[in-house]
Amino acid sequence: MLILIQPDEAGVATYAYEWLRQRIQRKPRLVLGLATGSTPLRLYRAMVEGYQRGELDFSEVITFNLDEYVGLSRHHPRSFYRFMHEHLFSHVNLRPENIHFLDGLPDDVEAHCEAYEAAIRAAGGIDVQILGIGRDGHIGFNEPTSSLCSRTRDKVLTRETIEDNRRFFGPGEEVPRWALTMGVGTILEAREILLLACGPAKARAVAAMAEGPVTALCPASALQLHPRVTVVCDEAAAAALQYQEYYRWIQANDYRLHEVVQKAKQARDTQPDH
């Protein structure tokens, strides 16, 4: 797990945008897993601006969102589907047929979730999964005690998550208690994962995810088992990390690895007895 600490939220979004831009440019038909919530909003704004500047082309990109509230239709103002349209989809040239979403009003939950998994497989699997993290360590809506091999399914949200989500709902509006979500096992199958975390409320969850034991009590800790996870967090979200100094040390030195090897090779090649 590569942990990059940025000074603030803007720094997190700038890094995340650049990371993603390189991947979309390298593979125009990128299969991109997306999250909702406040954390990726700045990244989505940067993606829209990148598209407007002509830097990014989404015409071949395929998306799969992580989750959707049960009981809300796609057109409900608080559905994740609407959220994604407002913040990203309607501002870039993604093809509607390339946008995949779980349906909050499925006729048959199990069949619908299986079909979602099949659609991910048919697209060739997720290349890049963007994640946020809940205060309780959830990823997608895999709440604590979720199986670390779980697949797409329905999940009852914790009271804490319901309260955290209340800010997106109007006064007196009921916050859904259920969601359909990709499972932890589904997420772990993505080829690469970019997790973003900002603000002091995430500090405990970030530390548990990166440095705690792998446990269903912190579903994000399962990411320790994935070989290609990049975590980009701001100072506040990094505050409880025990190995902070080491992560900063890696950050300061890692990009020079190539340079150091090149220099050493040049030195070796100029040795007379080489």
**Interface positions with ligand F6R (CB under 6 A):** 35-39, 66-67, 132-134, 138-140
Nearer to ligand F6R, 44 or 247 (CB): 44
- Cα 176–Cα 178–Cα 183 angle in degrees, nearest 5: 140
Selecting among 67, 68, 103, 164, the annotated active-site residue is 67
Spatial distance between the Cα atoms of 224 and 207, rounded to a whole number of angstroms: 12
Tokens describing residue 159: 């009271």
Tokens describing residue 196: 């973003």
Q: Mark whether 226 is an active-site residue.
A: no
Nearer to ligand F6R, 67 or 127 (CB): 67
Q: Mark whether 91 is an active-site residue.
A: no
- Find, among 63, 152, 166, 163, the residue nearest to 114 by Cα: 152
Nearer to ligand F6R, 14 or 55 (CB): 14
Spatial distance between the Cα atoms of 43 and 114, rounded to a whole number of angstroms: 30
Give min distance, CB of 130 to ligand F6R, in A. Answer: 9
Q: Mark whether 136 is an active-site residue.
A: yes
* Residue found by looking up tokens 């969102």 in the block: 65
Spatial distance between the Cα atoms of 152 and 117, rounded to a whole number of angstroms: 7
DSSP code at position 84: H
Return the residue nearest ligand F6R (CB atom).
132
Q: Mark whether 192 is an active-site residue.
A: no
Selecting among 9, 103, 143, 164, the annotated active-site residue is 143
Nearer to ligand F6R, 60 or 144 (CB): 144
Give min distance, CB of 136 to ligand F6R, in A. Answer: 9
